[in-house]
Homo-oligomer: A and B are copies of this chain.
Amino acid sequence: MTPLRKDAARNWDRILTVARELVDEGTPLQLNDVARRAGLGVGTVYRHFPTTEALLETVATPCLEALADHGRKALEDPDPWHAFSEFLTRLVEAQVSDPSLAKVAATATDTLPRTTELKQQIMTAGTEVLTRARAAGAVREDLADGDLVPLMCGVAYATYVHSDGPADRLPTARRYLDTLLRGLSA
């Protein structure tokens, strides 16, 4: 593809910056709102991001990349249980500190191919980490590969429910995950 025109690139950045701000302050993304705050027309926003989900996934992409990176590194950890628990911890902490990621993780069907690709990479790493931990006799036998993501989404969700504010979400999430990990260990 031809590279983006200068003004288009500028507006793309503006939109993403505003979207990131909105997500961080907990406001649900509304494309009209994004357009207004970015000083752009609604049409411009919708050309760059056809749906709310597309924008949300783009906002979450850097976090997904970071998780995929960590997943690959976890495979070099000599301690299978440490690699496993660390991997899950990252998965939960990322979701708790970033609502956009939580939504994207919980959604089965993606809008952007890039999102699917990254999710797959994370899944692959997770499966490998789990397999090693299981082989080392560190985790229960009846834990399936496909259980990891849902369980982590559940922990993140439990942290959000009835939460008073973003302040003490992280410690709560760690507590919940610790408890679950104890149940997962063999």
Contact = CB atoms under 8 A, between A and B. Distances in A.
Given A142-B175, A179-B143, A158 B162 contact: no
15 contacts: A108-B161, A142-B175, A147-B175, A150-B159, A150-B162, A151-B158, A153-B161, A154-B154, A154-B155, A154-B157, A154-B159, A154-B176, A179-B183, A180-B180, A183-B184
A157 B183 CA distance: 18
Contacts of A155: 154, 158
B184 A179 contact: yes
Contacts of A143: 179
A181 interface: yes
Q: Report how many copies the assembly holds.
A: 2
Contacts of A161: 106, 108, 149-150, 153-154
A146 interface: yes
Tell me whether chain A's interface is mostly helix, strand or loop, or mixed.
Answer: helix
A182 interface: yes
Interface string A79-106: 0000000000000000000000000001
Contacts of A157: 106, 153-154, 157-158
A114 interface: no
A154 B146 contact: no
A178 to B, nearest CB: 8
A140 interface: yes
A156 to B, nearest CB: 8
A150 B158 CA distance: 5
A182 B153 CA distance: 19
Given A147-B175, A149-B161, A183-B183, 10 more contacts: A140-B179, A142-B175, A150-B161, A151-B176, A153-B157, A153-B161, A154-B158, A155-B158, A182-B182, A182-B183
